[in-house]
């Protein structure tokens, strides 16, 4: 087994490894969006006309769908982050890490369901 | 660097209390990486409130993003509380995110020069974005465009 394979299998697990992959992917997505988001917010310094034009550019079904994805990414990263800290600071939590991952997914789905309905409804109505 | 080497062969460990810990990336034991490890958790806890709160307020509650326009942001930034919130969120999220990128780059980018360049690319972008965001949050002047 090459070193590269070992790194790819660092967690050598099923649930835990996929949660780890998802944590990285959502984290990268959020920081890349943040770079763009600071720039779009900075336009507010050029007054109402300029800023509202930026907000209008965002107000289409494609960007609104990305908005939903972003909200999901932040919430997943946050809830899974709590799970990571539980395991880090309370060693016994590692024994039930699969249950904690399942709980993370359940909480995420429960929180995302109404949010998806709310933003989804707003997108459909805007078309 | 030494904290990284030899860690991947570790599959399960028994801690002092005899609790079996499934294989996880070992906690850095000292120095630079330990402080970053701790920072990620402390900033993560703060961001749990700052970022989740921001997302809920701006995108979910009370009409979501559709009600966000110049007036909305301008009147929000009338209050020092929200300027402080947004600046804290900006600072912590940037440092937390950039350190996250550094760790990921360390895992996947093997060539030293490429790693160096990619890391510094993100440090510079982060610094520019931090400077821009800070200037905007603290110098925004509502009265400038009133009645204009």
Q: How confident is the model at residue B8 (pLDDT cuts 50, 70, 90)?
A: very low
Q: What is the DSSP letter of A14?
A: S
Find how far residue B132's CA is from the centre of its chain: 16
Q: How confident is the model at residue B62 (pLDDT cuts 50, 70, 90)?
A: confident
B136 CA to chain A: closest CA distance, Å?
Answer: 6
Phi and psi dihedrals of B20, rounded to 5? -75, 125
* DSSP H helices in B18-67: 31-55
Find how far residue A119's CA is from the centre of its chain: 16
Mean pLDDT, residues B17-35: 68
Distance CA A9, CA A27 (A): 20
Q: How confident is the model at residue B101 (pLDDT cuts 50, 70, 90)?
A: very high
b vs e for B77-87, b when ≥16 Cβ sit within 10 Å of the residue's Cβ? beeeebbebbb
pLDDT at B143 over 60: yes
Which residues in B lie closer than 8 A to residue A81 (C-beta atoms)? Answer: 44, 48
Q: What is the model's pLDDT at position A127?
A: 81
pLDDT at B36 over 70: yes
Query: Comparing B128 with B20, which gets the higher pLDDT?
Result: B128
Average confidence score pLDDT of chain B: 84
Residue recorded with tokens 């860690």: B7
Q: Answer whether A55 touches B (CB < 8 Å).
A: yes
Residue recorded with tokens 């507010």: A44
- CB of A126 closer than 8 Å to CB of A61: yes
Q: What is the DSSP letter of B68?
A: -
pLDDT at B110 over 70: yes
Put simply, the answer to whether B15 touches A11 (Cβ < 8 Å) is no
Q: What angle, rounded to 10 degrees, do the helices at B31-55 and A61-89 form?
A: 130
The pair of three-digit structure tokens given for residue A36, joined into one six-digit string: 């763009």
Q: What is the model's pLDDT at position B57?
A: 93
A74-116 pLDDT tens trace: 999 999 999 999 988 888 888 888 899 999 999 999 999 999 9
Put simply, the answer to whether B48 touches A41 (Cβ < 8 Å) is no
pLDDT at B108 over 60: yes
Please, what are the domains in chain A?
13-125 (1.20.1300.10)
Size of interface A-B (CB pairs under 8 A): 131
pLDDT at B20 over 70: no
B81-96 pLDDT tens trace: 999 999 999 999 999 9
Query: Comparing B73 with B30, which gets the higher pLDDT?
Result: B73
Put simply, the answer to whether B129 touches A95 (Cβ < 8 Å) is no
- CB of B95 closer than 8 Å to CB of B43: yes
Distance CA B73, CA B91 (A): 19
Q: What is the model's pLDDT at position B141?
A: 84
CA distances for A94 relative to A10, A54, B14, angstroms = 16, 46, 12
Q: Which of A28, A103, A73, A83 is nearest to B24 (CA)?
A: A83
């Amino acid at each position: 087994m090459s070193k590269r394979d070992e790194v790819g299998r660092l967690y050598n697990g099923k649930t835990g490894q996929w949660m780890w992959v998802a944590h990285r992917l959502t984290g990268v997505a959020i920081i890349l969006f943040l770079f763009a988001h600071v720039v779009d917010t900075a336009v507010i310094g050029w007054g109402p006309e300029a800023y509202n034009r930026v907000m209008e550019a965002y107000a289409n079904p494609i960007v609104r769908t990305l908005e939903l994805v972003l909200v999901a990414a932040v919430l997943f990263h946050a809830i899974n982050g709590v799970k990571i800290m539980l395991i880090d600071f309370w060693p016994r939590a590692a024994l039930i890490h699969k249950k904690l991952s399942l709980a993370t997914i359940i909480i995420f789905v429960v929180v995302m369901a109404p949010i998806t309905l709310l933003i989804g409804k707003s997108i459909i109505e805007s078309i | 660097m030494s904290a990284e080497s030899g860690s991947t062969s570790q599959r399960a460990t028994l801690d002092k209390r005899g609790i079996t810990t499934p294989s996880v990336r070992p906690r850095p034991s000292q120095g630079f990486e330990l402080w970053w490890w701790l920072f990620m958790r402390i900033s993560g806890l703060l961001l749990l409130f700052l970022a989740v709160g921001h997302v809920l307020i701006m995108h979910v509650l009370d009409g979501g993003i559709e009600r966000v326009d110049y007036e909305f942001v301008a009147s929000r930034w009338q209050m020092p509380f929200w300027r402080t919130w947004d600046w804290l969120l900006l600072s912590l999220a940037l440092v937390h995110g950039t350190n996250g990128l550094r760790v990921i780059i360390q895992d996947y980018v093997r060539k030293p020069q490429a790693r160096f360049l990619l890391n510094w690319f993100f440090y510079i972008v982060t610094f520019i974005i931090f400077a821009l965001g800070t200037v905007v949050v603290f110098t925004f002047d509502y009265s400038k465009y009133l009645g204009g």
